[in-house]
Chain A
């Protein structure tokens, strides 16, 4: 009866569909400590593996003696490269077309590299055994400075590649050279520089950092000898890709491999790749016939599995004297560590770094990236960003500020003069992208109004005078950044991983009573997919989100997908969900027509079902249609109500945003305090505003950490410094600034629901915003560019150097 009096608004509201601030359904278990993580898994007879790791950054291994370790009670096996060799598994291919030692093969290339894998009855015995493995080294000269990698007399780091003059991405010009990647029109760019009124040039470094999810990388591998089946539970952002790689490497047919990613405690790019731990656990379970667990500790995580950034970007802009940019030239020296294990789409050795023209209408640009080997951990992952997009955004946003400074123009004003205009979309960038949609001018002006930009600049002028008069030892910086991201990898025409095109998928199955189970090829690591995917389906199919169960991560049940990273889930999986829902809707319409005895064309969709046009009393809800789909389908139509969609996106999506930061710096100590941080994000259609806000808060906190302190540093001997949370800066709530969030909405024209993705925007836009604030603070003292991280001692040093 109540059904009859319910209003349209109530019907709409109870769906909790798109646009609703629906509470995260996964949080019920997370906040009660009832999540189910890899390390919670305990299988009968499960063994524990752990690594003997290199003390040195670069050394020959003269001898490994594991006899004492093998003799320790409770030790089952100690694997070295020699044990993996007969299986062909002592080296593995990387996602970037290089190879990587699974266990050091005669040589170590970086400190903490895996040398031997100890398998024992428990973690304690495994660690005791590690102390007993004797490794004799002969030290080799260490190379940690990427700027010295290509010196003629630089030590040769990869003798395994000797004589290989062509790598996966073209010619190699030196024994430590990996690739050179160039994009753009060099001659036209040179010409723009020749004719420019004003040019700037700066070497802008983005230091080596680490994604550092709270849960480290881990897996449990379990081989059933009778069935010949392998099950691997692991912290995988891309479980299907892991299954394919495991099959290719182990030669176990793909259908006999079951990869399961349970709840994941953060990924941020760290959990995309395949690591030695996975391979060794798989080999160990096959050898022993018992399940083997491998769990990284914090130091191992920070010092071995996947660093990010380490890009050194020599950046030049040409401009007219009234502040119109006319050309961009960038050369990047990319430090990839000991193996090229970047997790980029295969054809993109520097990811999508060619988004480096940013939000500005550069008529010409040229980019060259040289990748080099050093004695550091491999990786180069997209730490909460689409591939190398954070580096690109940092590069252009710092460079625009440097140009503004040189021209004596306000940094916001310079940006306004150079934005790609709204009427230029779809916009072809000088480095080859087609930006889908944007309204930069509106976003920038909204941000400036929101913070009272003009008044902030006036205050800054007053405070600079007071500083000059010696009345204060504090300086004030205003950071502006305007970023354009490129996410949603990606169209099969240019994006694949190991040959697998970067589509994604969704399968939706409606049960007879009208509730739903839906499975996707993506994999949440905290993004809230269980909540938001249900909201898309709720709006598309008129079934309340609470009646929709979302399942990801089990490769046996989920359709094949490329996983979650690079903000690709909403642009690609989100689209697949909408398209699968629309297939169902089309069939539902046929069924409704049959039930209502009208033609399909006489029906229209109305919130949660179909009604007869002009006769809204005659209607069938989706729930009724579902029952009929199974039990009384129209003659000739197969029963059931489900659909699968594999979505190959026609283009990337291009979220953007305007961020402004106000910072005060005590020059006597170098301590910086963020007074205010305002973030306006435009991610197109907003599925769940609360989740967007949460993503922005998290991403900004990481941006703050990166800009203001994070660094994985190596000393000249190749020792990794600061690979623990005592040193690696993970801010607590006390240090974290208060975030103000805002938005505009410019839907993507090519995406079924117009959504662009937001998870990574704040990291991309936040880092330059903080760094620009710091640089802006010091600019009146003569600073042009101060390198990150902006921790207290470096800011104090900057103040000293500037005579403050």
Chain B
């Protein structure tokens, strides 16, 4: 559990960081909180020769409102997200999810950008970002572009980021006031990744579902946006049969691995249970106007 040799860089601007990554090519990796990357380096599953630490770049550490979007800097820590009044008011699901990631020590260092850029299907934020319709802002040698969270994940640790591109911010369209949300995560203990988890964001109109998004964590090679499950609920009043139908539709798109958390059959079943519980909780929150 000792990493190989590497050179450590700490640029002060995004441009410098991009230049360093471009210079060193394949051998370089951005470093944020280090709480996914460094464990992999200790196991020598990753052996970058150059680490480009993004935490010296002040511009990546802010949370702000921009038009209808909330813009979260990539180097904002999970702890900072939990403490943010803006997120608590406008995007409570981010705070609610961050509180379910690992433990306080890890959240003080782990960043939102690292969590979504990592590409580990066990990370919790990607499904939430998909549910919220977020877009990732990427900056590379060729300039700046936006990538929808729904199109970002290609496979385990494979994302749409190009070499030498860094994720600078996450842009989240703020959901309407009074929306319902939930992130239901089943795990073995504090510090564990999800056995199964479901994110739900919905709005109600006259007691019926007006809009709904559902996404799943750690139930396939990437986070999964359960579009069919969500679409089937629009117009329903979330009666038990509706919830069950959505849970079944969500289960159908899962392809979980078997591991210490349980065999695939169990995890698929838990996907359904988490979706059902998340829908119920989100609907309660929407009904309570919170």
Contact = CB atoms under 8 A, between A and B. Distances in A.
Nearest to A728: B260
A727 B190 CA distance: 12
Interface stretch (A330-338, A392-400, A789-797): A789-797
Interface stretch (B141-149, B219-227, B232-240, B266-274): B266-274
Contact of B262 (A722, A725, A731, A792): A792
A123 B186 CA distance: 38
B4 A793 contact: no
Interface string A679-723: 000000000000000000000000000000100010000000110
Contact of B189 (A123, A124, A670, A731): A731
Given A793-B195, A793-B266, A796-B266, A669 B273 contact: yes
A668 B263 CA distance: 15
Interface string B182-200: 0000101111110100000
Contacts of A791: 188
Given A709-B188, A735-B189, A793 B263 contact: yes
A170 B195 CA distance: 48
B103 interface: yes
B156 to A, nearest CB: 16
A673 to B, nearest CB: 13
Per DSSP, are chain B's interface residues mostly helix, strand or loop, or mixed?
Answer: loop
A127 B4 CA distance: 8
B189 A792 contact: no
Interface centre among B189, B192, B263 (most CB of A within 10 A): B189
Given A669-B186, A732-B103, A796 B191 contact: no
B204 to A, nearest CB: 25
Given A732-B191, A734-B190, A131 B260 contact: no
Nearest to B276: A668
Given A721-B260, A793-B262, A128 B189 contact: no
A722 B262 CA distance: 12
A501 to B, nearest CB: 40
B266 A668 contact: no
A731 B192 CA distance: 11
B2 interface: yes
Contact of A732 (B3, B190, B259, B262): B190
Contact of B260 (A127, A298, A727, A796): A727
B288 interface: no
A534 B1 CA distance: 40
B189 A729 contact: yes
B34 to A, nearest CB: 17
Nearest to B263: A793
Contact of A299 (B1, B193, B261, B262): B1
Contacts of A797: 266
A297 interface: yes
B273 A668 contact: yes
A671 interface: yes
B190 A298 contact: no
Contact of B4 (A126, A128, A726): A128
A730 B1 CA distance: 19
Contact of A796 (B5, B188, B189, B269): B269
A793 B1 contact: no
A770 to B, nearest CB: 16
Contacts of A721: 260
Interface residues of B, number: 24
Contacts of A796: 262, 266, 269-270
B44 interface: yes
Interface string B1-35: 11111000000000000000000000000000000
A207 B16 CA distance: 54
Contacts of B261: 793
B5 A729 contact: no
Contacts of A735: 189-190
Contacts of A725: 191
A125 to B, nearest CB: 9
Q: Quick one: which of B5, B192, B260 has the most chain A CB within 10 A? A: B260
A624 to B, nearest CB: 54
B2 A792 contact: no
Interface string A296-326: 0111000000000000000000000000000
Nearest to B258: A793
A588 to B, nearest CB: 53
A128 B103 CA distance: 31
Interface in B140-199: 186, 188-193, 195
A525 to B, nearest CB: 23
Nearest to A791: B188
Nearest to A793: B262
Contact of B1 (A297, A709, A713, A732): A297
Contacts of B189: 709, 729-732, 734-735
A128 B263 contact: no
Contacts of B263: 793
Nearest to A122: B2
A82 to B, nearest CB: 26
Interface in A279-310: 297-299
B241 to A, nearest CB: 16
A668 B244 CA distance: 13
B4 A792 contact: no
Contact of A127 (B2, B186, B191): B2
Given A128-B4, A668-B273, A793-B261, A729 B266 contact: no
Contacts of B191: 725-726, 732
A377 to B, nearest CB: 18
Contacts of A126: 2
A671 B192 CA distance: 15
B5 A671 contact: no
A385 to B, nearest CB: 24
20 contacts: A124-B2, A124-B3, A126-B2, A128-B5, A131-B44, A298-B1, A669-B273, A670-B266, A709-B189, A726-B191, A726-B260, A734-B190, A791-B188, A792-B262, A793-B261, A793-B263, A793-B266, A796-B266, A796-B270, A797-B266
Given A734-B189, A735-B190, A793-B263, 9 more contacts: A123-B2, A124-B3, A127-B4, A668-B273, A709-B188, A726-B192, A732-B190, A792-B186, A796-B270
Q: Which 9 A-B pairs have the closest CB atoms?
A: A793-B262, A127-B2, A727-B260, A297-B1, A793-B266, A732-B190, A734-B190, A722-B260, A735-B189
